A and B are shown apart, each in its own frame.
Chain A
């Protein structure tokens, strides 16, 4: 789509992944450019989170090649700010918001970590950016779902990442909070690449630049639209439903390419 040559942030080539003999991804290709703001959509169990974890080197594909900033993700994952799903962490863990954000300052190749003045300054900036500095001494358990999510984003930002990968960041956030969150992300996107797994198709038209639909195979569409192919791939719902307002988006006609048969 884009005529200007852009630098590549991440790519997958022929990547397959199985979980307990169940094929989750099959021969998937992807090229994510720097400064893209990509939404990953698709049905539950379709491989959205798996895709993210493969890009970060947390899961190893059965076959295929993964590059993150030109190298294997084991070497470059620390350049990405990762915002995992909220349900992942132990909710009652005794930790303050500030200490969570400081974890974003941990670096590879160093043990016996101590946080320096720079680390504290970066954590303060990140918390401030997410408007969570006043809550820094609260236990994570005392924060609302939306506040916790902001702390996780601040933790990801504290390392000054080149990209931000978020896994369903709005799952426990109310509608107001969602709009807030996405406008924050839009600001951040002026400097860094953003990849966000979402169920929320509302965000597509107003914030993102491209849409990645995953359901065992993958379609990457370089515009903030859901195409009929994606609907066939992702939701198996007839395109006519769109007319009834389930998805407030433009539907593109068939635009050629391998997935439009």
Chain B
């Protein structure tokens, strides 16, 4: 392993895994505490429509994905906030529609073939310095957002009706939160792929939620767990020459199964 660590691309991959783990630990805490994992999945998948649109119209994929994903996220978020119990069908439709549009538009773009797999599973081993800088900047912005609105976001996440009675601008904060999730997804899918984004957003925060007494401690715990998953997955990926994103997801999922199984055994004992 140690000779691997000398290689710049391995160093970048490790840094990318840690940054993605931290960002997903923070945003995933809100995703899990608000029970909007399905909404986050819809946002991440519909983002592929943005990839196709950008290719077809010939502008930078980053702006295409950003615009498309934010728009989709706000539509899905609005539907979710309006009719919480019935929004899952509409989110499912937009989820599928976004991906289908992305595939059709790349089909129609002459002379271009996007590898869907790299979008789904990312390519953390080819991560660039610029991507690392973008992730670090986003983490700083998200930390500022969370620090400023921590109490308000906690109240809105825990009991939005009570928060509304207290006079908190609930809808605005909820849409900001969904927008922040979308922004994180946009930055992360280019790096680690959308399947890994969903795994990092949900698995560690879910495990952390059971033990923590506050959102802040849940963020720290989930972030640390994510970093462990990412580093272990990368090590396996390099040792056995297998896909890095899939390796990280398998490590995280096995930890989740062990956690759930252990909890079930303890309940029985």
Residues of A within 8 A of B (CB): 53, 56-58, 77-78, 80, 82, 84, 88-90, 92-96, 99-100, 103-104, 106-109, 111-115, 137, 139, 155, 159
Contact = CB atoms under 8 A, between A and B. Distances in A.
A65 B4 CA distance: 72
Nearest to B164: A58
A172 B246 CA distance: 44
A54 to B, nearest CB: 13
6 contacts: A90-B158, A95-B215, A99-B214, A111-B149, A111-B169, A115-B151
A84 B159 contact: yes
Interface of B is mostly: helix
A78 B166 contact: yes
B213 interface: yes
A53 to B, nearest CB: 8
Given A93-B158, A94-B214, A58 B165 contact: yes
B210 interface: yes
Contacts of A92: 209-210
A106 B161 contact: no
Nearest to B169: A111
Contacts of B165: 56-58, 77-78, 80, 82
Contact of A159 (B163, B166, B208): B166
Contacts of A93: 33, 157-158, 209
A108 B151 CA distance: 13
Contacts of B164: 57-58, 77
Given A93-B158, A100-B158, A139 B151 contact: no
A56 B159 CA distance: 15
Nearest to A112: B148
Contacts of B209: 92-94
B154 interface: yes
A95 B161 contact: no
Contacts of A96: 213-214
